[in-house]
Amino acid sequence: MGKSIKVQRKESILKEIIPEALSQMNDGRIRGLSVVDVVCSRDGSDAKVYLEKSYLNDKEQKASLKQLKQARGYIQNYCLKSTGWFKVPNLSFTFDDLLEQENKMEDLFNKISKK
């Protein structure tokens, strides 16, 4: 069964608000991050925020995730004030590797089609 409309709406709103919160941060590494997707748990109490990692190496990604972990309270508070909700999901941040996976799959398909 698919996600409820309430959860989908929450994901959509968070996808708009979290980049606003990131742009308010003082740290340039965090300010420059782009939100690719937000996925909420079924009950909406947790949300995983997927970030674009196009220009960051592994060391920079780890440093950014550490900074985001420290700033999570500020980001959740920003979301709370912006939405007027009584409770904001617990946010966890990760870098999206879907593009890399898609490129690998495409390379495999190209190799198969050449044979």
| pLDDT > 90 in the chain, percent | 56
Q: What does the angle CA 43 – CA 37 – CA 59 come to, to the nearest 5 degrees?
A: 115
Domain boundaries, the chain: 5-114
In whole angstroms, give the CA distance from residue 50 to residue 66.
15
- Which CATH superfamily hosts domain 5-114? K homology (KH) domain (3.30.300.20)
What's the pLDDT score for residue 31?
85
Q: Is 8 helix (H, G, I), strand (E, B) or coil?
A: helix
pTM, to two decimals: 0.82
Token pair listed for 80: 């709370």
Contact 37, 8 (CB under 8 A): no
Could you report the per-residue pLDDT of 14-41, keeping only the tens digit for each? 999 999 999 998 887 788 889 999 999 9
The DSSP output letter for 113 is H
What's the pLDDT score for residue 109?
80
